[in-house]
Homo-oligomer: A and B are copies of this chain.
Amino acid sequence: MLINIVSTANKTFKHIKALGRKNYREKHKEFVIEGVRLLKEALQSHAPIKAVLVSESFLKNDQNRAFLDKLLMDVNNRPSHSPPPTPHSIYTCNDRMFKEMTHTETPQGILAVAAVQSHSLKDITEDHRPFFVYCDAVQDPGNMGTIIRTADAAGADAVIVSGGCADIYNPKTVRSTMGSLFHLPVIKVEDSRAALSDLKERGLKVIAGHLCATAKNHFEVDMKRGLVLVIGNEANGVSKPIVELSDYIVKIPILGRAESLNAGIASGILMYEIVRQRMK
């Protein structure tokens, strides 16, 4: 059954809208995903979806309606004590109210509330040569999302995110991951030094991508071993304590007159050098 939200005083309406704020997301351990594609990715990955909301216009399209009918059937047939991912409730509201809850300029008319799945470094089962991506104060939500998407494509075991990074549940980050947020564990750590020291003790090498005098070209370092690739802040690179703790500092050579590379691009180049070395 579709539950119609008619007033902006509605509790669910207010809740979804408030999930646009980082501190509210952190308090409730929930976030919003937008669009059919992301919702499908989330359902396929058994991500815990709490609620789905669609706009009036969304329901007017036959293909959308078919997708929703299938979802409603799943909800109705859900055993009373079923675990996620099947959403508990599906809501609808008018387009104007829907627009108030989204963060996209041309919303598709469907969004869902997902519960945060907490992962810890300890949960990660490592194969014989793990590959972690560590984000050290990456600030731009779009870059953060693209890094998660690229790490997924490159077959990374997990993405580790320092406290100073953009929130991974920011609507823009979620959108930029293109679903990869549900494909591999993304682990938040508060104490970067402790986390990296722990990984070093497990035998992993820490490789920081950072422009400095002693850095080697990225393709001149052996990346076939188990490793943590550190991606630094857009403006300042990898922070000093983490540079000091790193086993190797690598740089991407700049041949032309550009001052630097975009942080997302740089991380893609480094991750795929790992892929190349391991596939060769």
What is the interface of chain A, defined by CB distance below 8 A to chain B? 146, 149-156, 176, 178-180, 183-184, 217, 219, 252-262, 264-266, 268-269, 272-273, 275-276, 279-280
Contact = CB atoms under 8 A, between A and B. Distances in A.
A151 to B, nearest CB: 8
A279 to B, nearest CB: 7
B149 A183 contact: no
A140 to B, nearest CB: 12
Contacts of A264: 262, 264-265
Number of copies: 2
A113 B171 CA distance: 35
A255 B268 contact: no
A50 to B, nearest CB: 23
Contact of A219 (B149, B255, B258, B280): B280
A178 B259 contact: yes
Contact of A258 (B183, B257, B272): B183
Nearest to A256: B152
B256 A153 contact: yes
**Closest 7 pairs (CB-CB, A-B):** A155-B255, A265-B268, A153-B258, A152-B258, A152-B256, A183-B257, A269-B272
A154 B257 CA distance: 9
Contacts of A261: 149-150, 153, 268
Contacts of A257: 152, 180, 183-184
Given A253-B279, A264-B264, A279-B253, A149 B269 contact: no
A181 to B, nearest CB: 11
